[in-house]
Amino acid sequence: MAPPAGKRVKGVQIFRPFIYGTTARPFDEKTNPKPPGVPDDHTHSWTVFVKGIDDVDITYWLRRVQFKLHESIPNHVRMIDGEKGKPFTIHETGWGEFEITIKLYYVPESGEKPQTLYHHLRLHPFGRTEEEKETMRLNGEVISWTYEEQIFNEPYEAFYDVLTSGAIPVPGSKVGGGKGKGAAAKGKEQEAQRSEGGVLERSAMIPMTNRPGQLFSRETEQVELKKLQEALKTVQEMTKKMATELEKKNQRMLELKAEGAVKTT
Ligand code: SLL
């Protein structure tokens, strides 16, 4: 594909947050009954997706997504074209976990080559601790999602315009041309429901807090940071303890050497 006409905007880097991953649910007569026609050996239904954070539209920079599934699945290479405001998704059923290849195709104005991501489909509860696994088991859903940031380095001018043509409120979430306090307040209310912290479309914003179905926010970031700080503290304490032990052992070695020297002379 020929690069778009025009120059690149020098020294500019623009990023857009997005999420990709899978959600799997075991078949269960009550909570997730197996639809007719699904083979006997299939144990789970699952979804793989690429979408905007807080479900904002990303089709203004991402044009289509190719999902390459396991060869055992009929028609295992699927191309999904972007539909404004909707996630790129595939729903499937199966019995096994495997690596999914996700290829991102950008809008033509970007002049960007496609880029590949890899995601491991998880069907079975997992986690860093037994507790995390158990929580997943109880939720009846195996969620394996990744937060990612797409970086556009020195975008072409036309694409830069697309990316920065004004962060706009999520359609339907705010008063469009409504007048008066009442309407404005109502708009604000709706916006709050849609996204805590009011994430705008076509922005690089991240929600302030989590809410059901939205796992990535400044709040998540803070929790992760706290975990990292705690881990760092533990490592520092361990290092200190080791250093003290080493010092003791060195002392002991010197004593033994001195004793040996006394004995041999
Ligand atoms: C495993 N290495 O052994 C993996 C392979 C393949 C998963 C997993 C088939 C679905 C269908 C399916 O689930 N394949 O027949 O449509 O775990």
Q: Residue 190, exposed/middle/buried by CB under 10 A (0-12, 13-18, 19+)? A: middle
Residue 98 Cβ inside 6 Å of ligand 1? The answer reads: yes
| pLDDT for the residue 101 | 98
Give the mutation target among 98, 99, 122 for probing the ligand 1 site: most ligand atoms within 8 A of CB. 98
pLDDT tens for the chain, 265 residues long, are: 566 778 999 999 999 999 999 999 999 999 999 999 999 999 999 999 999 998 999 999 999 999 999 999 999 999 999 999 999 999 999 999 999 999 999 999 999 999 999 999 999 999 989 999 999 999 999 999 999 999 999 999 999 999 988 777 776 654 334 444 455 555 455 444 555 556 888 888 888 888 788 888 998 899 999 999 999 999 999 999 999 999 999 999 999 999 887 766 5
Distance 74 CA to ligand 1 centre (A): 11
Burial class (CB in 10 A: 0-12, 13-18, 19+), 253: exposed
Q: What is the pTM of this model?
A: 0.80
Where on the phi/psi map is residue 33: left (φ > 0), alpha (ψ -120 to 50), or beta? beta
CA of 100 to the centre of ligand 1 (A): 11
